[in-house]
Amino acid sequence: MDEQAFQGKLCNDMMRIAKEKCLNQKLHPVTLDVIGTANCEEVRLYKQSTKRAYAERCFFSLILNRESFAQTVENMFACAILARDGKISIGIGRPGDIQNDKRKDVGLEDIRELPCFWCPIGNADAVNAASGGQKELPNIEMVPKLNTAIWESLCEDTDFKAFMPNRNYPEYYGGKIESSKVDEETSEEEEEEEEESGEEEEEDDEEEEESSEEEDSNSEEDESPKKKNNKKRNSGSSSSSNSSRKKSRKK
């Protein structure tokens, strides 16, 4: 499975869960067609009591994975793709919403002044039948901040539910993705380059040793005529001294 297929699979899984948690609908895992009603009792009760078409849910519940910060980041990117395509909507919970008490009564989380998401009915600009004919808000940009400190606080200091299950890799996508194969090939190439560079260094060392030996032999050859001259000089001086001694004896 390549990276694009992996991304598509993750987005489909998130879409199924988002529909279940907002609309109480059960979707086919591949085609994403509605095949029944989900077992999300709090959403069913909320829709029944408020006559609303969907229930807004906490944004952090959709992306949070308490076991993995990396998978939390992956979930956030998948959520951004779904929002870009108009399959989910993201906003901020209104603090004075009259529905907050009803949400609390049926067991839904408190989303006041928190990022929340919901699934539009039909297109991204669909009309919510229970909102008095009011259309969805126009598209706006939202850049949520997420780092390890915020992730740890979400895991430890809040009661947010984690909708997305933890993914076991590589079983989730049926094996290694193609990018990992590329990484393996590049690592093998790097190892081969390191071996070649090591062999080149050894050859350079051998050449340096041979050149140093040649220099030593040349220096010895250069010194040998000097030694011969020194020997001749010494022999000449010794012969002259011997002749002078003989002359003195004759006298």
* pLDDT of amino acid 129: 40
Measured CA distances, 40 to 85, 107, 109, 113, 219 (Å): 25, 11, 13, 24, 94
Model confidence band, residue 250 (pLDDT cutoffs 50, 70, 90):
very low
- Identify the residue with better confidence: 146 or 183: 146
- Crossing angle of helices 148-157/69-84, nearest 10°? 100
Q: CB under 8 Å to 55, separation ≥6 — which residues?
A: 21, 22, 23, 42, 43, 46, 47, 103, 108, 118
Whether pTM exceeds 0.85: no
Q: Residue 181: is its pLDDT beyond 50?
A: no
Give the range among 64-73, 145-154, 156-165 with minimum mean pLDDT.
156-165
Q: Is the distance from CB of 148 to CB of 50 less than 8 angstroms?
A: no
* pLDDT of amino acid 77: 92
- Residue 48 CA, chain-centre distance (Å), reads 43
What's the whole-number mean pLDDT along residues 238-248? Answer: 49
Query: For residue range 1-16, what is the model confidence (pLDDT) as tens digits?
Result: 678 888 899 999 999 9
Query: For residue range 90-101, what is the model confidence (pLDDT) as tens digits?
Result: 888 888 777 888
Beta bridge partners of residue 116, listed in sequence order? 58, 91
Query: For residue range 100-155, what is the model confidence (pLDDT) as tens digits?
Result: 888 989 999 888 888 899 987 654 444 344 344 444 555 666 667 889 999 999 89
Q: CB under 8 Å to 240, separation ≥6 — which residues?
A: none
92 three-state secondary structure:
strand
Chain-wide mean pLDDT for the chain? 75
Q: Residue 166: is its pLDDT beyond 50?
A: yes
C-beta pairs of 179-187 under 8 Å, 24+ apart in sequence: 179/2, 179/3
Q: Residue 251: is its pLDDT beyond 50?
A: no
Q: Residue 22: is its pLDDT beyond 90?
A: yes
Q: Is the distance from CB of 18 to CB of 78 less than 8 angstroms?
A: no
Place of tokens 């609303």: 52
Tokens encoding 47: 């829709």
* pLDDT of amino acid 96: 74
Distance CA 167, CA 54 (A): 27
* pLDDT of amino acid 176: 56
52 three-state secondary structure:
coil
Q: Residue 224: is its pLDDT beyond 60?
A: no
